[in-house]
């Protein structure tokens, strides 16, 4: 156990960079504002989510009480948390078990296969606890307060919470172990990553459609009425994954023998799955890892004429940036799905939900006289979507330890920067375009208004991409061992999003100030455009200075 605990501490320290964070922010005390800003952004985001989520849970709890089945809310929330773990945890399992760089370091060490795998499994478990805390703890608190539960309830609820991700994550891990043992998906990990991501998106779409196809109620009585009519559906959903019901009954009947039996059953099945996982790891984990090291070469005839093609430096750099981006599916799946998800949600929210007041909205947006606010909303949406793509804000970081190749290229840093900016802007336009098309179709926006929106938005898209490049060139994150960390574990993405929101606030403030002085809408639009272009020029000059310093910086 000492060996395993030591390995587990090392894994958690390495995965979350705890030692590096302590040394940088608490020993050297350099750039402490970065940590403070990251914490502030997380707190604000969590607070907004909890505010909306808790209101929904209160309605669901009221409906459960009306049905005389208070455990129904716990069962539904627990079921949702475990299904989310089951679906999205599979991708994490494959990535951490097989695609992490530390696997090559751990293999020669005197460690048992189950020790290595269970330490990685625990790291994933910690990630899942962070997500499940947002989903389960509010429901546990609402039920406990609403029913006046005692201390025993909260102790049992804590046990249920700790064991809630074990069964679905163990199922993911066992499937991944045997799948990788016999299929050697490591050779096709790019395809596999894209496939899992697409399946996850499909699940999201189906769930979103199911939620929005039903009437949206605004008071608890309506929620109660709706759930009563659909109570059988809720029960069927939870019964499709029995552990959710076991955990729910363990918490709701905590004072009875029946609740204690469900708690024991919940824990026992969790331990059985964990034991089977350890046994499977001992048998096939090393074999799957070694099989994954095999590389098959494709026979391909390449002629000198086909392999040598002249190209301009800028074009070659843009193509290089594109290939570096698209060849790592983790990067592509963090950016490109925005082009699908946002217009899809937009479409089903308005078209699939008549209570959203679509007719009144169309009356306003379809009128050419209302072009100003429609264009401003389009501009703000464009800026926000661009800031959400995280492409430019990780442009340097994604090169990782191979950045030295860019430094020794006989090409000026300004030209390389320009290539990153062009690619980031083009991808941003690609991401925004579907939302424009869906918005134009739903709201019957006149083409003149669309043209004005595009005219305002293009410099804005450039602005946000420059901001992302500025932040990433000023503080690049090269020291990552998993491509996913280059984007999801990169605080530069958060900084860019914060600056994007700040830009939206500044633009709206300027507009309202000009409106108070009765400045014409045409003049306001022209002034906003000029200010954004001036900001583009100034920030690009600053970014070029940081990039030049980065390229010529000694190792």
pLDDT at position 224: 52
pLDDT range class, residue 192, cuts 50, 70, 90: low
pLDDT at 233 over 50: no
In sequence order, which ranges of 67-165 are alpha helices (DSSP H)?
71-98, 103-106, 113-147, 151-163
In 3-state terms the chain splits into helix, strand, coil percentages (rounded to 5) of 85, 0, 15
Cβ distance 120 to 97 under 8 Å?
A: yes
pLDDT at position 150: 85
pLDDT at 415 over 70: yes
Question: How much is the average pLDDT of 96-113?
Answer: 77
pLDDT at 311 over 80: no
pLDDT range class, residue 555, cuts 50, 70, 90: low
Provide, rounded to the nearest whole percent, the portion of the chain with pLDDT above 70: 78
Determine the Cα angle at 87 with ends 209 and 400, to 5°.
110
Determine the Cα angle at 509 with ends 505 and 512, to 5°.
140
411: which residues sit within 8 A by CB, 6+ positions away? 313, 317
- The closest of 209, 201, 203, 204 to 349, measured between CA atoms, is 209
Question: How much is the average pLDDT of 207-232?
Answer: 51
Cβ distance 531 to 404 under 8 Å?
A: no
pLDDT at 419 over 90: yes
pLDDT at position 464: 94
Question: How much is the average pLDDT of 372-393?
Answer: 89
Sign of CA dihedral 497, 499, 501, 507: negative
pLDDT at position 505: 92
Average pLDDT, rounded, for the chain: 80
Measure the CA–CA gap between 264 and 57, rounded to whole angstroms.
Answer: 27
Q: Which residue has the higher pLDDT, 502 or 194?
A: 502
pLDDT at position 299: 54
pLDDT at position 215: 47
pLDDT at position 188: 54
pLDDT tens digit sequence for 260-307: 999 999 999 999 999 999 898 888 887 777 765 554 555 555 555 555
pLDDT at position 216: 47
Sign of CA dihedral 491, 493, 495, 497: negative
pLDDT at position 457: 93
Q: Which residue has the higher pLDDT, 98 or 209?
A: 98
Question: How much is the average pLDDT of 69-89?
Answer: 82
pLDDT at 423 over 70: yes
pLDDT at 119 over 60: yes
The torsion of the CA quartet 76, 93, 281, 176, rounded to 10 degrees, works out to: 80
Tokens 């070659």 locate to 316
Q: Which residue has the higher pLDDT, 64 or 333?
A: 64
pLDDT at 136 over 50: yes
pLDDT at position 522: 92
7: which residues sit within 8 A by CB, 6+ positions away? 111, 115, 116, 119
End-to-end CA distance of the chain: 40
Measure the CA–CA gap between 436 and 457, rounded to whole angstroms.
Answer: 11
pLDDT at position 207: 53
Q: Tell me how many helices (H) and strands (E) the chain has.
A: 25, 0
pLDDT at 510 over 90: yes
pLDDT at position 554: 65
pLDDT tens digit sequence for 534-547: 999 999 999 999 99
pLDDT tens digit sequence for 456-505: 999 999 999 999 999 999 988 887 766 767 777 678 888 888 899 899 99
What tokens appear for 18 in the block?
């705890």
């Amino acid at each position: 156990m000492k060996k395993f605990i030591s390995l587990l501490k090392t894994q958690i320290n390495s995965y979350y960079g705890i030692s590096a964070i302590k040394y940088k922010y608490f020993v050297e005390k350099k750039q402490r504002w970065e940590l403070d800003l990251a914490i502030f952004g997380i707190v604000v985001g969590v607070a907004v989510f909890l505010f909306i989520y808790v209101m929904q849970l209160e309605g669901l709890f009221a409906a459960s009480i009306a049905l005389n089945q208070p455990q129904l809310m716990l069962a539904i929330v627990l079921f949702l948390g475990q299904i989310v773990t089951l679906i999205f945890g599979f991708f994490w399992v494959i990535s951490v078990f097989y695609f992490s760089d530390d696997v090559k370091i751990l293999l020669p060490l005197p460690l048992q296969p189950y020790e290595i795998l269970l330490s990685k499994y625990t790291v994933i478990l910690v990630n899942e606890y962070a997500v499940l805390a947002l989903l389960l703890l509010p429901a546990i608190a609402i039920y406990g307060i609403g029913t006046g539960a005692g201390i025993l309830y909260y102790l049992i609820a804590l046990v249920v919470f700790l064991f809630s991700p074990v069964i679905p994550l163990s199922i993911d891990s066992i499937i991944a172990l045997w799948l990788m043992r016999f299929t050697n998906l490591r050779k096709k990990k790019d395809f596999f990553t894209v496939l899992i991501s697409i399946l996850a998106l499909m699940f999201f779409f189906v769930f979103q459609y199911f939620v929005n196809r039903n009437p949206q109620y605004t008071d608890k009585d309506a929620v109660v009425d709706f759930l009563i009519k659909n109570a059988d559906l809720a029960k069927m959903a939870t019964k499709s994954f029995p552990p959710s019901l076991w955990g729910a009954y363990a918490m709701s009947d905590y004072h009875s023998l029946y609740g204690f039996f469900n708690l024991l059953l919940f824990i026992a099945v969790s331990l059985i799955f964990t034991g089977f996982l350890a046994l499977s790891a001992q048998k096939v984990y090393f074999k799957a890892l070694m099989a994954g090291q095999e590389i098959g070469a494709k026979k391909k005839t390449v002629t000198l004429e086909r392999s040598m093609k002249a190209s301009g430096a800028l074009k070659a750099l843009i193509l290089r940036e594109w290939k570096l981006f698209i060849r790592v599916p983790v990067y592509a799946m963090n950016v490109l799905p925005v082009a699908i998800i946002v217009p899809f949600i937009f479409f089903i929210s308005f078209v699939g939900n008549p209570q959203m007041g679509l007719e009144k909205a169309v009356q306003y947006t379809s009128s050419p006289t209302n072009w100003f606010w429609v264009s401003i909303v389009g501009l703000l949406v464009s800026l926000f979507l661009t800031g959400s793509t995280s492409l430019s804000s990780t442009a340097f970081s994604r090169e990782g330890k191979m950045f030295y190749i860019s430094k020794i290229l006989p090409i000026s840093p300004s030209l390389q920067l320009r290539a990153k900016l062009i690619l980031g802007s083009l991808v941003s336009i690609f991401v925004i375009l579907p939302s424009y098309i869906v918005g134009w179709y739903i709201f019957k926006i006149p083409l003149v208004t669309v043209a004005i929106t595009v005219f305002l938005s293009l410099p804005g898209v450039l602005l946000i991409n420059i901001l992302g490049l500025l932040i990433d060139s000023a503080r690049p994150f090269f020291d990552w061992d998993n491509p996913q960390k280059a984007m999801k574990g990169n605080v530069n993405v958060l900084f860019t999003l914060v600056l994007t929101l700040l830009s939206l606030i500044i633009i709206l403030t300027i507009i309202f100030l000009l409106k108070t002085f009765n400045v014409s809408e045409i003049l306001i639009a022209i002034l906003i455009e000029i200010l954004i272009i001036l900001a583009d020029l100034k920030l690009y000059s600053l970014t070029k200075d940081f990039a030049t310093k980065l390229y010529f910086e000694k190792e």
